[in-house]
Amino acid sequence: MNILMDHKHNKYINNKLANKKWLPNKTLNKKPYDFLITIPCYDEYDYIFKTLDSINCQDINILKNTLVSVAINNSMNENKSIIANNQRTYQKLLNNKYNFELIVIDAFSKNKSLESKISGVGMARKICVDLMISNLKSNSIICFIDADTILSEKYLSKIKSSYNKNNWSAATVNFLHQEDEPKTKKLIREYEKILKVTSSNIKECGSPYSYVSLGSTMICTCSAYISVGGMNKRAAGEDFYFLQELEKFCGVQQINDILVHPSSRYLSRLYMGTSMRLQKSLNRELNLSTLYFSESSFKILRKWIKLALLSDKRDYNALVRDINKIDLELLPFLHKINFKKAWNSIVSAPSYNHFSKQFHRWFDALSVFKLLKFYTRP
């Protein structure tokens, strides 16, 4: 670990680390691991052991230097049946043996459960990583998966190969949901298509935020994790905002191999995400086709990004005239996301490379989706 990284590492531990009331079930004496696989676990007795079995099938030589961290979690005012499920999961995990080092974290029992305001997958992911941060080196690779995700047997070897070839700091892998729920077989394929079509269209429009924001597909190095301030504590949407920060900091490589297979189960416990949308679709509360953005929204996005990237050194007033030629509603939309002040800062960049990066740091993933939604009004 170099001096700069060592400083960042210590600063993160001192200022950003998850509360020390959570502890791993055992002390690790091994040298830093090459891989850390993190799994938030909430009411997952029926799923997580299949997930761990799929990790156990990875390349045995890679598994020797792989650490798996499971944070079993629930809120302080949780339903008793969920706490019981978590207790059963915890006890069974302590007794199971695998080809990798397994750490189990109690974030569910009476004095360890999560406060309601931070209870959720974001905090659970953060605990998984933060408690293991001292067992990682700067280029250790952190893999974020879910407790209902089955991994391809080549998951770790493909990630390792991609990292060695491209030396990325953050990436996503391709995915294909399981057909483990008969009711959602058709729905999940349609939903996947929506995600991937949207991703492809955003890429064609010239935005770097063209990955699919799916928690079980995310990967980054330990240094990248620390540099963006670690995982956020959001109860949902933590993957979207984490990937957005990684893209701003170092870029997100897309590994095209299908390496993860999330469950296609349907749940209503979250207010966003795949399982919630499947649940709403089954209840006829949501027509999945309404999640597509309109062709016109992508045309405007493409024109806007192209115009902006050709406008380094142009002042605000000169740019406004061309913005109005794209669409008269575009400028009022941009004003709502602080366009004028942002542009005056962006055009002061010392080089075109800095200018382009500054533009995309401002017109980020959230801004992209806001624009697409704005122009896909019923």
Question: How confident is the model over 68-108, as pLDDT tens digits?
Answer: 999 999 999 999 999 999 999 999 999 999 999 999 999 99
Report the b/e string of 217-226 with b at 16+ CB within 10 A. bbbbbbbbbb
Task: Output the pLDDT for position 344.
Answer: 92
Strand spans (E) along the chain: 33-41, 66-73, 101-107, 136-144, 150-151, 170-175, 218-221, 253-261
Task: Output the pLDDT for position 18.
Answer: 84
Cα-only R_g, the chain: 22
pTM equals 0.95
Domains of the chain, earliest start first:
3-291 (3.90.550.10), 295-374 (no CATH)
Angstrom distance (rounded) from CA 353 to CA 351: 5
- Label residue 251 left, alpha or beta by phi (over 0 means left) and psi (-120 to 50 means alpha): left
Query: Per-residue pLDDT for 378 more than 90?
Result: no
| Chain position carrying tokens 């669409």 | 327
Share of the chain above pLDDT 70, in %: 97
pLDDT per residue as tens digits for the range 117-149: 889 999 999 999 999 999 999 999 999 999 999
- Look up residue 243 and give its two tokens: 């990937």
